[in-house]
Amino acid sequence: MSTALVYYGSLLLVYGAVYGIACAGLNLQFGVTGVVNFAYIIFQAAGAYTAAVLTLGPSSPVSFQHYVGGATLPFPIPLIAAAAVGALLALGVGLLGIRRLRSDYLAIVLLAASLIATAVATNQDGLVGGAAGLALVPKPLGSLFGGIVTNESYNLFFSLLAAVLCAVSYVIVHRITESPYGRRCRALRDNEPAAMALGVSPFRHQAGVLLVGGALAGLSGALLVEYISAWAPSGWLYPETFVFFTALIVGGTGSNWGALVGAIVVPLGIGEGARYLPQFGSPELMVSLQWIVIGLLPLIFLWFRPQGLIPERRRVFAADPGAARDRSPEVTS
């Protein structure tokens, strides 16, 4: 296998894992619980900035980039901190709205929060590097590879790390969605008044999925910034959230496998697929066409295949095992 192919394959794997983790978190919030989180991208950004500043070291007055809270913490502390910041920020933003607002109004508030966050990060130069963002973020565990983090071995290592984190994320989300807690989340999504009448607390369940989803968003951002070594506000504008929503609608809202497939088909597939198309017009035209496709896909899927490519699976309980065997009624698809 050629070196170029190894690089490209590991790049696809890392990006696929990053998008997969992010989509798993949003699926838990939106697909499973019905929380229309239009601010999802800011939790990914918060995780990325956290991991970056905790890896870059203290900000120096003579440096070209300025930020708060710089430190040099060893792997995996920056990743854990990024997940924690994503979770707490998501919970904080959510707490402002979920107690008081109906889901559609909450979506508007969250969209506004996304716009505000981008504006603050862009215009406060000393916060997280301003419009230029942060760069030269050291890659994790480079010392294990003799400080050379551009060779094949390191890329393979990083892609494996990303894949493992993605798999762990899906195990977490799967355990939640297949539990009684997940069932109550799905009930809230389907009919909130009826769920409340059965004792389901929207606040507690929505706060829980905001926490877990925010952590996964933060983790995905941390993983990405440690791979590409840079992060700037132009990379997490509010339309990026809609890319994730498109991924879920295409893959299948409420379906964990669907979220993974959507993550591969939409952000990864459309972005990479455009490279293989014959170039015509200006480069900006190609980018604009990608956005048009991302905008059209939800409409097409909601019209022709609302359940997505991999629909949310029906939870069928095994036949009554009988008192003698007393087996658990395992859920099968």
Applying CB under 8 A, the span of 14-22, 113-121, 205-213, 261-269 interacting with another protein comes to: 205-213
User: Residues in contact with another protein, total (CB under 8 A)?
Assistant: 37
Of 70, 78, 129, 208, the residue at the interface with another protein (CB under 8 A) is 208
Cβ–Cβ under 8 Å, residues 217 and 40: yes
Q: Which is nearer to another protein, 7 or 181 (CB)?
A: 181
DSSP string covering 212-276, please? HHHHHHHHHHHHHHHHH--B-GGGS-THHHHHHHHHHHHH-TT-HHHHHHHHIIIIIIIHHHGGG
The token pair at 142 is 């480079």
Q: Which is nearer to another protein, 155 or 255 (CB)?
A: 255
**Is there binding between residue 198 and another protein (CB under 8 A)?**
yes
Q: Which is nearer to another protein, 193 or 283 (CB)?
A: 193
**What whole-number distance in Å separates Cα of residue 161 and Cα of residue 222?**
12
- What is the smallest separation between the CB atom of 201 and another protein, expressed in angstroms? 5
Q: Which is nearer to another protein, 199 or 281 (CB)?
A: 199
Q: Which of residues 311-330 bind another protein (CB under 8 A)?
A: 312, 314-317, 320, 326, 328-329
Strands (E), the chain: 316-317, 331-332
Helix (H, G, I), strand (E, B) or coil at 332: strand
**What whole-number distance in Å separates Cα of residue 173 and Cα of residue 234?**
29
- What is the smallest separation between the CB atom of 231 and another protein, expressed in angstroms? 28
CA-nearest of 243, 238, 286 to 268 is 243
Q: Which of residues 251-270 bind another protein (CB under 8 A)?
A: 254
Q: Which is nearer to another protein, 20 or 202 (CB)?
A: 202
**Is there binding between residue 179 and another protein (CB under 8 A)?**
yes
Phi and psi at 80, nearest 5°, equal -65, -45
**Is there binding between residue 17 and another protein (CB under 8 A)?**
no
CA-nearest of 220, 240, 218, 228 to 290 is 240
**Is there binding between residue 194 and another protein (CB under 8 A)?**
yes
Residue ranges that bind another protein, judged by CB under 8 A: 172, 175-176, 179-184, 186-187, 189-191, 193-202, 208, 211-212, 254, 312, 314-317, 320, 326, 328-329
